[in-house]
Amino acid sequence: GAVVSQHPSWVICKSGTSVKIECRSLDFQATTMFWYRQFPKQSLMLMATSNEGSKATYEQGVEKDKFLINHASLTLSTLTVTSAHPEDSSFYICSARDPDRNYGYTFGSGTRLTVV
Amino acid sequence: DAKTTQPTSMDCAEGRAANLPCNHSTISGNEYVYWYRQIHSQGPQYIIHGLKNNETNEMASLIITEDRKSSTLILPHATLRDTAVYYCIVSQNSGGSNYKLTFGKGTLLTVNP
């Protein structure tokens, strides 16, 4: 089946630094990828839609200057959390869909970000 | 996207069938019903999806009512590893287009020994 790889699986950073998370579609090309955030004991919240070769579309309330998304190729999207603060600590998950396969979106394994 | 309603939690005995209900009374004609599950600290896993006909794959069966206002996910022989949060989501699915999935709170299924 379609595979989405996310890296790193966990990261600890100091407050004020930036962190980059990568999301790769391994066996298919994805013109669109989605980024979610999940706080403990809560559901996934969609942050933004990443579009290859164009600007990302952010959900209401998500700061685009803080969460930078780059989708430079058909197999790679990156999310950079800039000037991270402890309240940005969360589980970040990406997803994509293989348009040639008749099933739903495939999700990455997630990145646990802890800002100290 | 249409909203879904699921029970907060359910229990099931190991080896028995787990039947997870979902109400989606405002579903529109071009929206599919998707089921995903999330095991603790992992990304969601796709299970099954359908439009109006019942569907079955190696993981589960999906039963959609004739009026499409509700559905049931059936895990035929639940194992301890099926303990997870199960999400029922309705979304459009149109060829190469990509429509976002909006997650509700889901159902925490606990499979007991």
B67 CA: distance to closest CA in chain A (Å)? 23
Q: Is B26 on the interface with A (CB under 8 A)?
A: no
Residue for token digits 């989605």?
A: A34
- pLDDT for A114: 97
DSSP H or E segment with residue A91: strand A90-96
B-chain residues near A109 (CB < 8 A): 42-43
Structure confidence at residue B78 (pLDDT): 97
Q: What is the reported pLDDT for B1?
A: 58
Q: Could you give the dihedral angle defined by the CA atoms of residues A67, A64, A72 and B94, in that order, rounded to the nearest 10 degrees?
A: 110
State whether the Cα torsion B43-B49-B51-B54 is positive or negative: negative
Are B41 and A112 a contacting pair at CB < 8 A? yes
B93 and A108 in contact by Cβ < 8 A? no
Q: What average pLDDT score do residues A28-45 get? A: 93
Of A29, A5, A1, A38, the closest CA to residue A107 belongs to A5
| Percentage above 90 pLDDT, chain A | 77
Residue B97 has pLDDT above 80, yes or no: no
With contacts defined as CB-CB under 8 Å, which chain B residues touch A95? 43-44, 101
**Spatial strand order in the sheet of A4-7:** A4-7, A19-25, A76-81, A67-73
CB pairs under 8 A between A and B: 57
Kindly report the number of other CB atoms within 10 A of residue A84's CB atom: 22
Q: Does B21 touch chain A (CB under 8 A)?
A: no
Average pLDDT, chain A: 93
Say whether A49 and B43 touch across the interface (CB within 8 A).
no
Assign 3-state DSSP to chain A and report helix, strand, coil percentages, each to 5: 5, 50, 45
Whether the per-residue pLDDT at A115 is higher than 90: the answer is yes
DSSP state of A87: G
**What's the one-letter identity of residue B24?**
H
> How would DSSP label each residue in chain B?
----B--SEEEEETTS-EEEEEE-TT--TTEEEEEEEE-TTS--EEEEEESSS-EE-SS-EEEE-TTSSEEEEEETT--GGG-EEEEEEEEE--TT----------EEEEEE-
* B39 CA: distance to closest CA in chain A (Å): 11
The two tokens of residue A46 are 């969609």
Over range A80-108, report the average pLDDT.
90
Lowest mean pLDDT: which of A33-42, B2-11, B83-92, B97-106? B97-106
Q: For residue B87, which residues of chain A lie inside 8 Å, CB to CB?
A: 43
pLDDT of res. B93: 64
For residue B91, pLDDT over 90 is answered with: no
| pLDDT score of A99 | 75
Nearest to A105 among B41, B96, B101 (CB): B101
User: A90 to chain B: which residues are within 8 Å by CB?
Assistant: none
Cα A39 to chain centroid distance, Å, stands at 14
